Structure 1
Amino acid sequence: MEKQETRYTWHKVFDSVTEAREQVPLRKLKQLKLDGRAICFAHTASGFFALDDTCPHLGYSLSKGTTNYLDEVICPWHSYRYSMRDGRECEFRTRKAAFHRVEVREEGVFVGIEQTAATT
């Protein structure tokens, strides 16, 4: 039986937390391009988050939306709300948005794009 081992390709997106806060002010969103995909990078009172930028409902750009106090990104098209903690749509009306890990390190702020490889 094969098991899945999760690995990440880490992308440095900002040189420091200060730069991240300047580029993405509190409660704001920014589109980033990583590994050929659009990423919605968010800054909330809880920290930094990243999801695929494409709304799973009908494909609109989540980075053109807003955030709320529940750490959700709200799609500007039909107001679907996605948790930035796991990508789940709050009312289970559509599939989850792809979630990406964010790590703050001494050398900067990084987003991890998941790479799954089968192992035996």
Structure 2
Amino acid sequence: MAADQGESYTWHKVFESAAAAKEQVPPRKLKLLVLEGRSICFAHTAAGFFALDDACPHLGYSLSKGTTNFLNEVICPWHSYRFSLTDGRECEFRTRKAVLHKVEIREDGVYVGVLQPAA
């Protein structure tokens, strides 16, 4: 599993199967995960599973307390900033991008690859 453009990930099994992930995180729902001491927002949308840092890049509020929409965005419940789950950008470019993490569905479960800070 090569990282993109020099990025490094640490992989964590978070669900035993895709079915378990779908049961615990129904479509359009969010779940807070803590991996390596980091709060991660795990999202399930019509486009699949996604993971990003739980802290909103705007003012740090918990994104997992928010919602998702049909545009495949997570919406911060504090100021309604919307972040794309595919590239992390805030829809109106009012703040920096959200930090995204990789999600892989494997034979033995669902994994989140936590993006490691650059050295």
Q: What is the TM-score when the length of structure 1 is the normalising length?
A: 0.91
Distance (whole Å) between structure 1 residues aligned to residue 66 and residue 53 of structure 2 = 13
> For residues 116 and 40 of structure 1, do their structure 2 counterparts lie closer, same or farther at Cα, with a shift above 3 Å needed?
closer
Residue matched to 1:63: 64
Instruction: Give ranges in structure 2 of 5+ residues lacking alignment.
Output: none
Runs of 4+ displaced beyond 4 Å: none
Which is bigger in relative contact order (C-alpha 8 A, separation at least 6)?
1
Distance (whole Å) between structure 1 residues aligned to residue 110 and residue 47 of structure 2 = 15
Show the 5 A alignment for 1:41-120: 41-115=42-116
| 8 Å CA contact retained: 1:5, 1:116 | no
1:49 partner amino acid: F
Residue matched to 1:19: 20
Residue matched to 1:29: 30
2:34 partner amino acid: K
Q: What is the TM-score when the length of structure 2 is the normalising length?
A: 0.92
> For residues 5 and 80 of structure 1, do their structure 2 counterparts lie closer, same or farther at Cα, with a shift above 3 Å needed?
same
Distance (whole Å) between structure 2 residues aligned to residue 114 and residue 42 of structure 1 = 16
| 8 Å CA contact retained: 1:100, 1:111 | yes
Instruction: Give ranges in structure 1 of 5+ residues lacking alignment.
Output: none
- Aligned-residue identity in percent: 75
> For residues 71 and 116 of structure 1, do their structure 2 counterparts lie closer, same or farther at Cα, with a shift above 3 Å needed?
same
Residue matched to 2:8: 7
TM-aligned CA deviation for residue 87 of structure 1? 1.1
TM-aligned CA deviation for residue 12 of structure 1? 0.3
Distance (whole Å) between structure 1 residues aligned to residue 36 and residue 10 of structure 2 = 9
Q: CA RMSD in A?
A: 1.3
Pick the structure with greater CA Rg.
Answer: 1
2:70 partner amino acid: Y
